[in-house]
């Protein structure tokens, strides 16, 4: 963490949070602070509670015990400052919509009123497409894009509300290793002005990007990236996982 982040206000502050849907406890006694300007990875096994944690930070779910604050306020009062890319976009890739329209959909929602999109909104959407490197695709149908490009469109959609905090649920799910470097650069660029929390199953992908890894498996433990060893990984994933190496080129099909 840089000195700036150490002294900056918390973007997310969670105190003694516990949560269950109807059955067993999903998250237990979670305390966590993410400072403005940080980029953290949220990792853990399937069903460990990562998406649930993001939904609590968004205010889509309410904690049974404890408290969540985003920029010092309850999440719903900070909605305008949060951009969210969900794990499963409900967008049918075959729905006949352009890339630009998809990004503009980010302006619809609880904090932005319905109505025709004006020039200002369209300019903003083009600016965000420029930021993710897809401005030349703006008028193409969404279904003409690759999975990785669609992923970037969804990031532009999350950015078009001009948030201060960006939550990304599995942004790397459709990426192959060839575009990984490009994606790292994009996230670093975004993190110059925004706090970023990204859920990933891929520790190898996220570890060069972040200083801290938030491990979620009912309880939450935060580790500096430098501490992520084989032993820590098997504690998080119960030994079913190894860290994929990303520091050599496997584009030629070599096992990696
Ligand atoms: N709406 C819901 N109602 C009831 N149980 C749910 C609901 N959503 C999630 N769960 C349960 O809560 C637990 C945590 O789910 P969650 O999606 O948060 O895990 P995750 O760590 O994001 O998993 P994955 O890596 O598979 O995406 C799981 O056991 C899941 O079945």
Q: Examine the pLDDT at 3 and tell me if it is beyond 60.
A: no
CA of 113 to the centre of ligand 1 (A): 31
Q: State how far the alpha carbon of 128 is from the alpha carbons of 78, 86, 144, 155, in Å.
A: 21, 18, 19, 9
- Ligand 1: residues within 6 Å at CB? 21, 26, 44, 46-52
* Closest atom, ligand 1, to C-alpha of 55: 18
- pLDDT at res. 249: 36
Q: What is the largest CA-CA distance in the chain?
A: 54
Query: Which position has the token pair 């290793």?
Result: 177
pLDDT in tens, 82-97: 999 887 666 666 677 8
**For residue 106, what pLDDT band results from cuts at 50, 70 and 90?**
confident
What are the residues whose beta carbons fall under 8 Å from the beta carbon of 43, sequence distance 6 or more? 50, 199, 200, 201, 203, 206, 213, 214, 215, 216, 236
Tokens at residue 108, please? 């619809």
- pLDDT at res. 149: 87
| Ligand 1 atom 4, closest CA | 21
What are the residues whose beta carbons fall under 8 Å from the beta carbon of 240, sequence distance 6 or more? 45
**For residue 226, what pLDDT band results from cuts at 50, 70 and 90?**
confident
* Closest atom, ligand 1, to C-alpha of 53: 18
Name the least confident of 115-129, 149-163, 225-239.
225-239
Does the ipTM exceed 0.90? yes
CA of 21 to the centre of ligand 1 (A): 9
**For residue 248, what pLDDT band results from cuts at 50, 70 and 90?**
very low
* Closest atom, ligand 1, to C-alpha of 44: 21
Q: Which CATH number fits domain 3-35+47-237: 3.90.1150.10, 2.60.40.10, 3.40.50.300, 3.40.50.720?
A: 3.40.50.300
Domain ranges of the chain: 3-35+47-237
């Amino acid at each position: 963490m840089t000195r700036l982040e150490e002294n900056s206000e918390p973007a997310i502050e969670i105190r003694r949070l516990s949560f269950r849907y109807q059955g067993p406890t999903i998250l237990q006694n979670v305390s966590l602070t993410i400072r403005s300007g940080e980029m953290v990875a949220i990792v853990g096994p399937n069903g460990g509670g990562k998406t649930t944690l993001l939904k609590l930070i968004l205010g889509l779910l309410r904690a049974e015990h404890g408290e969540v604050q985003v920029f010092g306020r309850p999440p719903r009062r900070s909605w305008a400052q949060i951009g969210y890319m969900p794990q499963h976009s409900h967008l049918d890739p075959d729905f006949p919509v352009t890339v630009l329209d998809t990004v503009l959909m980010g302006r619809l929602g609880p904090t932005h009123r319905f109505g025709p999109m004006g020039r200002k909104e369209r300019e903003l959407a083009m600016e965000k497409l420029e930021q993710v490197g897809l401005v030349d695709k703006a008028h193409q149908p969404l279904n003409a894009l690759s999975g990785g490009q669609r992923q970037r469109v969804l990031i532009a959609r999350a950015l078009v509300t001009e948030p201060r905090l960006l939550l990304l649920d599995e942004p790397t799910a459709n990426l192959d290793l060839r575009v990984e470097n490009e994606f790292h650069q994009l996230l670093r660029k975004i993190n110059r002005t925004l706090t970023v929390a990204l859920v990933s199953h891929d520790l190898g992908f996220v570890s060069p990007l972040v200083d801290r890894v938030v491990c979620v498996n009912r309880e939450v433990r935060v580790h500096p990236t430098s501490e992520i060893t084989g032993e820590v990984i098997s504690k998080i994933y119960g030994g079913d996982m190894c860290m994929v190496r990303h520091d050599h080129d496997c584009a030629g099909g070599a096992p990696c």
